[in-house]
Structure 1
Amino acid sequence: MKLERLISIIYKLLNHEVLSASMLAEEFQVSQRTIYRDIDVICAAGFPVVSYQGSNGGYGMMDGYKMDKSLLGSYDINSLITVLRSLSTVFDDKRAQGTIERLQTIEAEKRDVSLSVDLETYRTESDALRNIRMAIARQTIVRFDYINARNEHTTRYLEPVRLYFKYRNWYVYGFCRTRLDYRGFRLSRLMNLSLTQETFEPHQDIPEEGEALNKAVNEQPVDVLIRVNKEALAEALDQFNQVDKDFHDDGSMTMRIPVFRPLEAKWLWTILMGFGGGAEILEPLELRRVIKERLQKALQLYEDV
């Protein structure tokens, strides 16, 4: 613990102009006398610690003293700091904050922020993220209720392996003891998550997420062709930016969206119906019928309006 505290103090002194002994003592839950001894040890190790007197006094590093930038080679330090800040906010991770402070010590100079990453999540999802990450670190089985894409309600016991962020959503991946296979679960569909007391040993060969989630590896996507009115261009681009697009003289746009099994892709139906009258499905014809039937069912709910 002492060595860890000494290293942390060094990085804090490198990142701040002046830190008082009382401030350091409160943060590390030790006495000021212990901090004085720590500072002596740091000075004896060759770090140029300067003592400042007065009401705003304390300790700091000699101006211009920085650690060797070659520690990270060609990495973009500012970008790493930005991403870590976002992750430390999501997970409330003090270790990530410590890494940020260490990275800041090797910045050549302060620069204006040119990159910002916001992984904002709902509070319930943030709690799930932290609990699952804890379970992964402790190799603890988690239990939760789950609603799948077919709206089926099941209870699962999972050996969590990793968390991943994809298509603006968080997922947990691991070995499902209910299905006896590796599965990925979207966190927004998890309910009543809890950590059990049972631990597990990781399996030898863990498949990648894509191998487990996409069984039809030889299946080819089907092109869904939609025509978007100019009033819905921005929303359509937000949803399907990386697809083939053709803009027309009247301000409309045609998009060709490759989708696996579009007649079963409820996520796609939801997006397309969300455009209202702003987009029309041109192909395939079967998908036009599916959307028409769903819209008719929705209208039945409002017949008395």
Structure 2
Amino acid sequence: MKTERLLAIVIKLLNRKKMTAKELADYFEVSVRTIQRDMEAIELAGIPVVSEKGLNGGYSILENYKIHNSYFNDVEHQLLMTALDGVYKTYDDKNLKNIIEKLSSIKMHQSAPESQSLILDFSDWGPESKRQEKVRSIQKAIDTQKVVQFRYIDINGNSSTRVVEPVSLILKVNKWYLYAFCTLREDYRLFKIGRMDDVQITEKRIDPSREVPPFDFTHDDRERVRLRLKFQKQALNQLEDYFELDGLEFHEDGCIYVTEYFPEDEWVYGMILHFGNQVEVLEPEHIRSIIKERAEKILEKYI
């Protein structure tokens, strides 16, 4: 642990140029005296540390000192930084931040590119959401091997209290999920972070003897229904959120037809209703009836 902290201190000084012992102590959650001993160890390792006293003083590393930068070429380095920065926008883990700072220090003396051809951002639109706070809390529970309790709203709108043994946080298509053993269902389940509320880390520890099956997003054994939809051309700009454009049928009547197979659940009904009057369900008949009934109930609220 000490060795990792020493390396992290060097990286921070390379990136920040100057930091006080108090700033370093607060960041690494140690005492000022520990930081002073760390700086002595860094100097003994041959790294040229400069110590300045006074109001604007602090620790820094000699200006011409730099880490060997031949590990990555410029393109590789930029791609790594872009990917890590994109993840960090939604997952502000200190270990991830340290990795970014280490990579930054490798190329820190080179000029920045004139333009960035690729930008990755996995965060939500707008300011930081409470969802990120839940992600941090769940990650802490995974790290400390603690059981988590929360209120969960399923896809049908039903609420239940869940007590789970968290295994993995999963970020897929800009959405966070928790893979965990659910004591209510006595099996491993996938929970959508956005449907979790009142997340609490308990004092109970995860059962270390439980065998954890790997999660596979591609495996879904639910029965699928053949869906035939007719869209107005005005819906084209939204269709790419749900369907591949090369699977769309453009007819002479100006409408767009789609044939797709989905597991039938509330997500399917919500997806169809999302398009409002720009969509018509052609098949199957029972889903057409469900959408008609729900549309009539919506109309009743405005009469």
CA contact (8 A) 1:49 1:62 kept: no
Task: Please give the alpha-carbon distance, in whole angstroms, between the structure 1 residues aligned to 2:182 and 2:255.
Answer: 46
Query: Kindly tell me: are residues 125 and 232 of structure 1, through their superposed partners in 2, closer, same or farther at Cα, counting changes over 3 Å?
Result: same
Matched residue, 2:61? 60
CA contact (8 A) 1:182 1:212 kept: no
Structure 2: gaps spanning 5 or more residues: none
Matched residue, 2:23? 26
Letter of the aligned partner of 2:196 in structure 1?
Answer: L
Query: Kindly tell me: are residues 33 and 58 of structure 1, through their superposed partners in 2, closer, same or farther at Cα, counting changes over 3 Å?
Result: same
CA contact (8 A) 1:88 1:94 kept: no
Task: Please give the alpha-carbon distance, in whole angstroms, between the structure 1 residues aligned to 2:302 and 2:262.
Answer: 31
Q: Deviations over 1:44-82 (max 9, x none)?
A: 424355789997996334547333443x79994333333
Matched residue, 2:178? 172
Letter of the aligned partner of 1:225 in structure 2?
Answer: R
Deviation at 1:169, TM superposition (A): 2.4
Query: Kindly tell me: are residues 212 and 238 of structure 1, through their superposed partners in 2, closer, same or farther at Cα, counting changes over 3 Å?
Result: closer
Task: Please give the alpha-carbon distance, in whole angstroms, between the structure 2 residues aligned to 1:137 and 1:103.
Answer: 24
Query: Kindly tell me: are residues 296 and 275 of structure 1, through their superposed partners in 2, closer, same or farther at Cα, counting changes over 3 Å?
Result: same
Structure 1: gaps spanning 5 or more residues: none
SS of the residue 1:160 aligns to: strand
Corresponding residue to 2:119 among 109, 115, 120: 115
Letter of the aligned partner of 1:296 in structure 2?
Answer: E
Is 1:159 the counterpart of 2:162? The answer is no
Is 1:144 the counterpart of 2:147? The answer is no
CA contact (8 A) 1:243 1:256 kept: no
User: More deviation in 39-48 or 5-14?
Assistant: 39-48
Task: Please give the alpha-carbon distance, in whole angstroms, between the structure 1 residues aligned to 2:243 and 2:7.
Answer: 47
Corresponding residue to 1:255 among 245, 254, 258: 258
SS of the residue 2:90 aligns to: helix
Matched residue, 2:295? 295
Deviation at 1:6, TM superposition (A): 2.4
Deviation at 1:240, TM superposition (A): 2.4
How many residue pairs match? The answer is 292
TM-score (norm 2): 0.80
SS of the residue 2:240 aligns to: helix
Letter of the aligned partner of 2:122 in structure 1?
Answer: D
Query: Kindly tell me: are residues 76 and 249 of structure 1, through their superposed partners in 2, closer, same or farther at Cα, counting changes over 3 Å?
Result: farther
User: More deviation in 173-182 or 242-251?
Assistant: 242-251
Query: Kindly tell me: are residues 242 and 249 of structure 1, through their superposed partners in 2, closer, same or farther at Cα, counting changes over 3 Å?
Result: closer
Q: Deviations over 1:118-164 (max 9, x none)?
A: 32276332222111111111111111122212322221110010111
Corresponding residue to 1:234 among 234, 237, 240: 237
Query: Kindly tell me: are residues 57 and 146 of structure 1, through their superposed partners in 2, closer, same or farther at Cα, counting changes over 3 Å?
Result: closer
User: More deviation in 73-82 or 153-162?
Assistant: 73-82
CA contact (8 A) 1:141 1:158 kept: yes
TM-score (norm 1): 0.79
Task: Please give the alpha-carbon distance, in whole angstroms, between the structure 2 residues aligned to 1:161 and 1:237.
Answer: 32
Query: Kindly tell me: are residues 272 and 181 of structure 1, through their superposed partners in 2, closer, same or farther at Cα, counting changes over 3 Å?
Result: same
Q: Deviations over 1:76-95 (max 9, x none)?
A: 43333333334434343222
Letter of the aligned partner of 2:25 in structure 1?
Answer: F
Letter of the aligned partner of 1:129 in structure 2?
Answer: V
